[in-house]
Amino acid sequence: MSERPPELGWMRLFVEVAALGSFSSAAARLGLTQPAVSYQIRRLEEQFGVSLLRRQHRGVELTAEGERLLEVAAKAVGDIDALARSFRAEAERPVIRLRTDYAFSALWLIPRMESFRLLHPETDIQIVATQRVEAGLRDDADPAIVFGSGAEFSAVGTLLLPEKVVP
């Protein structure tokens, strides 16, 4: 028996072989050859120092030790797969990067963000608060909410609401 820790990459192979009851079926699902799967399972058994599978005429069956390993390995592989799916889902979430000034973001926009999140939980909003509001400013924001005259922004913007400032 080897003193090296078992190869964790072989755990997925073991789980697939156990689930499908066949080296060939596991190999087909994983895009490997049947001899490669058989060899790696044999190496795994050598590392553990026990037989994990009983080879039969048609397929394989778990030994008592194989059942014990499957209980741990299936949970670990399942948890890792679920984590990978969540990472991919988070990476695929739509993100809107909104540029606006400090006062508008703090006094109007942010107080309304909870309502937006309830309506659109799949969308992330990134708010960039800045005083840079020049017409034609190009940065990595998607939309921008700026204050100014129609003459300044009519070529690149749409009036959302008129503003009248009085002393």
Domain boundaries, the chain: 9-90, 95-153
Q: Which two tokens stand for residue 135?
A: 């017409």
Task: Kindly report the number of other CB atoms within 10 A of residue 35's CB atom.
Answer: 10
Per-residue pLDDT reduced to its tens digit, 115-136 = 998 998 888 888 888 876 655 5
Average pLDDT, the chain: 86
CATH says 9-90 is which class? mainly alpha
**Gap between the terminal Cα atoms of the chain:** 87
Q: In CATH, which of 1.10.3720.10, 1.10.510.10, 3.40.190.10, 1.10.357.10 is domain 95-153?
A: 3.40.190.10
Q: Is 129 exposed, middle or buried (0-12, 13-18, 19+ CB in 10 A)?
A: middle
Per-residue pLDDT reduced to its tens digit, 150-167 = 777 767 778 787 777 788
